Amino acid sequence: MLKRVLQSRFSFLDKSQLVKMRLRAMRAGVWFRTLSRIDRVLIDLTIKVADSIRSYSLAKCVLSVTRKLGGLLESRLARSIREVGFPLACKHSLFAQNWGNVTAAEWARDAGFARYLAVMHFNGRSGACV
């Protein structure tokens, strides 16, 4: 029973997911450029030796490497939407709500509006930013 619990706990870190992540990182050019040798060896040996990760300490180490890669593999536009678009959408939403627009509360959660604001900010048009 304990074995099954441990396997289900770290099921998101199985061999196929690690292979896909390594392939994406290699294609993006961040595998050798940004990861240290020990991080690359950790992922490579985990792929070769284990089908699934059962050890808590190994899962913790592999998870830290996947977090590094996750931040590096995120596209520039997606990062801009998350860091710029949604905060600007919240700001615009609050201004519109203060002016009496009751439907403006939905703007803060609208991904399309956040994307529009991020692209406008990304292109350097200061008129779209408050």
Provide mean pLDDT across the span 82-97. 92
Q: What is the DSSP letter of 63?
A: H
Q: What is the pLDDT of residues 24-78, one digit of tens each?
A: 899 988 899 888 999 999 999 999 998 888 888 988 999 999 888 887 777 778 8
Q: Which residue has the tokens 């029973």?
A: 1
Q: Nearest CA to 10 among 48, 47, 62?
A: 62
pLDDT at 12: 64
- Grouping H, G, I as helix, E, B as strand and the rest as coil, residue 14 is strand
Nearest-10 Cα torsion for 91, 92, 95, 100: -140
Q: Which residue has the tokens 């008129």?
A: 127
Q: What is the DSSP letter of 101?
A: -
pTM over 0.85: no
d(C-alpha 53, C-alpha 123), whole Å: 43
